[in-house]
């Protein structure tokens, strides 16, 4: 489950328990170790999570990291030094840059470099990828999905759709790429209120029974490691959240 904000640790773990979540993907920006409020919250969260048997992965990334991968190296070293996290979880999303269409080859290359330098800490590196990433290639001709799978320890495909059948359909290329590389593939399901330009990208607004059925259907997909829920805030705020 993605965690983007400093929710009360016990609240987070209660939600995790209710949804059978075993790993929290916790956002930490570069320089987090110098912020007293963040470190105090992380220390408490780590203690509560460890008690409940829930692992913490450091969630980080920015589109700019595809242009300056050294930021990923510095951030991952900071994460490793903290001792609070078992894994790294990169969410770079270079395609959000305004020149993606003209610079996608270089940005795919930069994304792969960022994953590689993050891995030098020795912590496992998981990477968020859009379900369509195979449509773009780096300078060596490998498509984005193949290239990421060859350097990551696992991927989470952001298969943000409203129906289980659509989620399974769009996830297919990523699941196949993960199988070829021999790494786990997690299926990301969106529960946040969608933007107006992507109204069918989320389960937001569905009733609890429908959300529960959809998540169960996605979890039953073959050849996947499990489901990743986006995100903790949405699960708490959705009146008709999964039960």
Burial label for 122, CB within 10 Å (0-12, 13-18, 19+), is: exposed
| Residue 242 pLDDT greater than 70, yes or no | no
CATH 3.20.20.80 fits 2-237, yes or no: yes
Name the nearest CA neighbour of 87 among 42, 153, 178.
153
Tell me whether residue 239 is exposed, middle or buried, using C-beta atoms within 10 angstroms of its C-beta: 0 to 12, 13 to 18, 19 or more. Answer: exposed
3 in Cβ contact with 232 (< 8 Å): yes
Tens of pLDDT along 50-69?
A: 999 999 999 999 999 999 99
Residue listed under structure tokens 């770079």: 92
The domains of the chain are located at 2-237
Residue ranges of alpha helices (H) inside the chain are 9-18, 36-52, 70-82, 100-118, 144-149, 164-181, 208-219, 232-237
pLDDT given for residue 243 in this prediction: 42
pLDDT in the model for residue 195: 84
Question: pLDDT per residue over 164-209, tens digit each?
Answer: 999 999 999 999 999 999 999 999 999 999 987 788 999 998 988 9
Note the pLDDT of residue 199.
82
Rounded mean pLDDT of 144-167?
A: 97
DSSP letter for 193, please: P
Residue percentage of the chain with pLDDT more than 70? 98
Of the listed ranges 13-22, 221-230, 233-242, the one predicted with least confidence:
233-242
Angle between helices 208-219 and 164-181 (to 10 degrees): 30
User: For 119-150, what is each residue's pLDDT tens digit?
Assistant: 999 999 999 999 999 999 999 999 999 999 99
Answer yes or no: are the C-beta atoms of 214 and 164 closer than 8 Å: yes
Burial (CB count within 10 angstroms: exposed 0-12, middle 13-18, buried 19+), residue 67? middle
């Amino acid at each position: 489950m993605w965690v983007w904000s400093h929710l009360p640790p016990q609240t987070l773990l209660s939600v995790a328990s209710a949804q059978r979540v075993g790993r929290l993907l916790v956002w930490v920006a570069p320089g987090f170790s110098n912020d007293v409020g963040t470190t105090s919250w992380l220390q408490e969260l780590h203690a509560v999570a460890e008690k409940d048997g829930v692992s913490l992965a450091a969630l980080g990334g920015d589109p700019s990291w595809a242009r300056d991968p050294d930021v990923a190296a510095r951030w991952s070293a900071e994460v490793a030094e903290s001792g609070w996290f078992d894994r790294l979880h990169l969410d770079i999303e270079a395609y959000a840059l305004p020149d993606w269409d003209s610079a996608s080859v270089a940005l795919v290359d930069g994304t792969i470099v960022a994953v590689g330098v993050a891995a030098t800490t020795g912590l496992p590196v998981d990477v968020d990828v859009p379900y369509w990433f195979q449509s773009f290639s780096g300078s060596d001709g490998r498509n984005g999905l193949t290239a990421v799978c060859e350097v990551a320890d696992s991927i989470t495909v952001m298969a943000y759709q409203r129906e289980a059948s659509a989620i399974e359909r769009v996830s297919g290329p990523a699941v196949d790429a993960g199988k070829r590389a021999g790494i786990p593939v997690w299926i990301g399901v969106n529960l946040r209120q969608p933007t107006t330009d992507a109204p069918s990208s989320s389960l937001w607004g569905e009733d609890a029974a429908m959300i529960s059925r959809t998540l169960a259907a996605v979890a039953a997909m073959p050849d996947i490691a499990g489901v990743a829920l986006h995100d903790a805030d949405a699960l708490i705020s959705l009146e008709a959240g999964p039960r």
